[in-house]
Structures are given as C-alpha cells and as structure tokens.
Amino acid sequence: MGLADRAVGFLLSFISLSIFTYYTFWVIILPFVDSDHFIHQYFPPLEYAILIPVFAGVTLLFFLCVFIGMVILKSKKKKP
C-alpha cells in the first residue's frame, strides 16, 4: 500500500519536473539561442507553447463542467 502510494507520488513529481524543465527551456531559454543551433529541432515552434496549455486548460474546464452536470443530473433523478 505504501509502496504504490510512493510510486504514484514519485511519478507525479517526475512528470511535474520534466514539464517544468521542458517548458522553461522552450519559453525562456530557446528565444535567446541562435536560430541555426541544433537544439531547435527538438522543440516545436513557439505558438504551440501557448496553444498546448490553453487547450489543456479548456479541456480541464470541459471535463469539470461535464462532471458537475452529471452529478447534478444524478441527484435530480434520485429526488422524485
């Protein structure tokens, strides 16, 4: 039980740290690097650095609203 918790915790922190480093590199460091450096081929163009978080946020909001709606519908069905 404790081991599974620790594994999930480690996975979460690892994902968080990797997202942090990749995104920091992408948004802050890469614009200062010359455009013919080889590192640029590992990163998509900069518009995606805005599109992907916005898309993820909108998806999150969407699932949240759907979940709340389903809960409300379920509770209304039980009442009468």
Find all residues with CB under 8 Å of 23, minimum gap 6, and list them: 49
User: Pick from 33, 42, 44, 53: which binds other proteins (CB under 8 A)?
Assistant: 53
- 11 sits near other proteins (criterion: CB under 8 A): yes
Angle, alpha carbons 45-57-11 (nearest 5°):
85
User: Pick from 20, 42, 55, 67: which binds other proteins (CB under 8 A)?
Assistant: 20
To other proteins, the closest distance from the beta carbon of 36 in angstroms equals: 19
Please identify, among the stretches 8-16, 33-41, 65-73, the one whose residues bind other proteins according to the rule CB under 8 A: 8-16
Q: Is 25 exposed, middle or buried (0-12, 13-18, 19+ CB in 10 A)?
A: middle
